[in-house]
């Protein structure tokens, strides 16, 4: 079994120390194989805020995969925003803005949907869409195929329609048809799991979008608590098994408690030729 822990929108600079401490204890107990940061790692892309994120990660022993969110680009420093927007991000996470992780059980593809020329909106280009399709088609049958980016592709609240990823109409069905199983996002601090379909609609392949809340920030949305997603994937008797566990921070328990489990088993065999 592979355990993938998705943390999103921690917005270091606005982190709550008791929630950070509880999250460390949760990570120790669930022992993920890989930890994902799906953007807005900092509040204002300041060096000190990335340093706080680094101190948090210093206690994590598994591989970490991070992509930028709109808050990880400087907002007020216009020179840095347009000439070196990812300088502080790269200082902490390395030069790759679209990292990948692969083991026999899972393939994770990062996509950078931030744009220095846009305020907070995200965009996926035709070349990014094509690159992800190519990588998905190279996946092994037994691998769970995850795409991670920051901006949502499907809203469940009408007020979030304005936050949807530009270019999603082209990218999402093509990625579903190319074999994507899960599309991870953040940005709106509202966790949910929702089905996605390929070009032939509900008669074709189904995948899932997995939105995460804010992991540790005080910038929670209404009554929605801090939360993280734990993705468990296994192959048994040649069938995929996959569950999304949402864990919410409970101030009463001072710990993350399991709030919801969603069965998202991929509807494809774990053996045989790759999808074409
Ligand atoms: Fe955010």
Q: How far is the CA of 275 from the centre of ligand 1 (A)?
A: 34
pTM for this prediction: 0.96
Sheet holding 201-211, edge to edge: 100-103, 106-110, 144-148, 182-185, 201-211, 192-198
For residue 232, the model assigns a pLDDT of: 98
For residue 7, the model assigns a pLDDT of: 98
Q: How far is the CA of 69 from the centre of ligand 1 (A)?
A: 7
Q: How far is the CA of 71 from the centre of ligand 1 (A)?
A: 7
For residue 20, the model assigns a pLDDT of: 98
Q: What is the share, in percent, of the chain residues with pLDDT greater than 90? A: 89
If DSSP codes are grouped into helix, strand and coil, which group holds residue 257?
Answer: strand
Q: How confident is the model at residue 256 (pLDDT cuts 50, 70, 90)?
A: very high
Q: How far is the CA of 187 from the centre of ligand 1 (A)?
A: 4
pLDDT at 198 over 80: yes
Q: How confident is the model at residue 152 (pLDDT cuts 50, 70, 90)?
A: very high
Q: How far is the CA of 19 from the centre of ligand 1 (A)?
A: 16
For residue 276, the model assigns a pLDDT of: 45
Closest by Cα among 246, 215, 230 to 53: 215
Q: How far is the CA of 43 from the centre of ligand 1 (A)?
A: 8
pLDDT at 115 over 80: yes
pLDDT at 213 over 50: yes
Q: How far is the CA of 225 from the centre of ligand 1 (A)?
A: 14
pLDDT at 95 over 90: yes
How far apart CA 123 and CA 198 sit, in angstroms, is: 19
pLDDT at 245 over 60: yes
Q: How far is the CA of 197 from the centre of ligand 1 (A)?
A: 26
Q: Which of 46-50, 89-93, 263-267 has the lowest mean pLDDT?
A: 263-267
Q: How far is the CA of 241 from the centre of ligand 1 (A)?
A: 30
For residue 270, the model assigns a pLDDT of: 77
pLDDT at 108 over 60: yes
How far apart CA 185 and CA 217 sit, in angstroms, is: 16
Q: How far is the CA of 188 from the centre of ligand 1 (A)?
A: 6
Q: How confident is the model at residue 54 (pLDDT cuts 50, 70, 90)?
A: very high
Contact 122, 171 (CB under 8 A): no
Which phi and psi angles does 135 have, rounded to 5°?
-65, -40
For residue 38, the model assigns a pLDDT of: 98
For residue 269, the model assigns a pLDDT of: 72
Q: How confident is the model at residue 275 (pLDDT cuts 50, 70, 90)?
A: low
SS in 3 state form for the chain? CEEEEEECCCCECCECHHHHHHHHHHHHHHCCCEEEEECCCECCCCHHHHHHHHHHHHCCCCCEEEECCHHHCCCCCHHHHHHCCCHHHHHHHCCCCCCEEEECCEEEEECCCCCCCCCCCCECCHHHHHHHHHHHHCCCCCCEEEEECCCCCCCCCHHHHHHCCECHHHHHHHHHHCCCCEEEECCCCCCEEEEEEECCEEEEEEEEEEECCCCCECCCCCCCCCEEEEEEEEEECCEEEEEEEEEEEECCCCEEEEEEEEECCCCCECCCCCCC
Q: How far is the CA of 7 from the centre of ligand 1 (A)?
A: 11
How far apart CA 152 and CA 39 sit, in angstroms, is: 12
pLDDT at 24 over 50: yes
pLDDT at 64 over 50: yes
Q: How far is the CA of 189 from the centre of ligand 1 (A)?
A: 6
Q: How far is the CA of 107 from the centre of ligand 1 (A)?
A: 25
Considering the chain, what is the average pLDDT of its residues? 95
- Tokens encoding 273: 């030729």
Output the CA–CA distances (angstroms, integers) from residue 166 to 22, 41, 191, in the order listed. 35, 21, 20
Q: How far is the CA of 128 from the centre of ligand 1 (A)?
A: 22
Q: How far is the CA of 219 from the centre of ligand 1 (A)?
A: 8
pLDDT at 272 over 70: no
Q: Supply the CATH classification number for the domain 2-263.
A: 3.60.21.10
Q: How far is the CA of 158 from the centre of ligand 1 (A)?
A: 18
Q: How far is the CA of 79 from the centre of ligand 1 (A)?
A: 23
Q: How far is the CA of 72 from the centre of ligand 1 (A)?
A: 10
């Amino acid at each position: 079994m592979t355990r993938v822990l998705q943390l999103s929108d921690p917005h270091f600079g606005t982190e709550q120390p008791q929630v950070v401490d509880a999250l460390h204890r949760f990570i120790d107990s669930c022992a993920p194989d890989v930890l994902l940061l799906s953007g807005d790692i900092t509040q204002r892309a300041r060096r000190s805020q990335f340093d706080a994120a680094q101190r948090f990660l210093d206690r994590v022993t598994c591989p970490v995969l991070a992509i930028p969110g709109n808050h990880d680009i400087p907002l007020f420093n216009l020179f840095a925003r347009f000439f070196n927007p990812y300088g502080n991000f790269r200082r902490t996470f390395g030069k790759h803005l679209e990292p990948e992780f692969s083991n026999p059980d899972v393939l994770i593809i990062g996509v950078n949907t931030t744009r220095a020329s846009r305020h907070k909106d995200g965009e996926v280009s035709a070349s990014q869409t094509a690159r992800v399709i190519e990588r998905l088609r190279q996946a092994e049958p037994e691998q769970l195929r995850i795409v991670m980016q920051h901006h949502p592709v499907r809203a469940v609240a009408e007020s979030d329609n304005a936050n949807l990823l530009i270019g999603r109409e082209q990218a999402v069905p093509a990625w579903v048809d190319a074999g994507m199983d899960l599309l991870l996002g953040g940005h709106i601090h509202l966790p949910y799991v929702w089905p996605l379909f390929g070009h032939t609609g509900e008669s074709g392949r189904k995948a899932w979008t997995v939105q995460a809340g804010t992991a540790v920030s005080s910038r929670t949305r209404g009554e929605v608590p801090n939360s993280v997603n734990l993705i468990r994937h296994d192959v048994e008797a040649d069938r995929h098994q996959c569950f999304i566990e949402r864990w919410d921070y409970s101030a009463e328990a001072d710990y993350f408690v399991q709030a919801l489990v969603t069965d998202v088993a991929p509807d494809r065999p774990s053996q045989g030729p790759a999808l074409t």
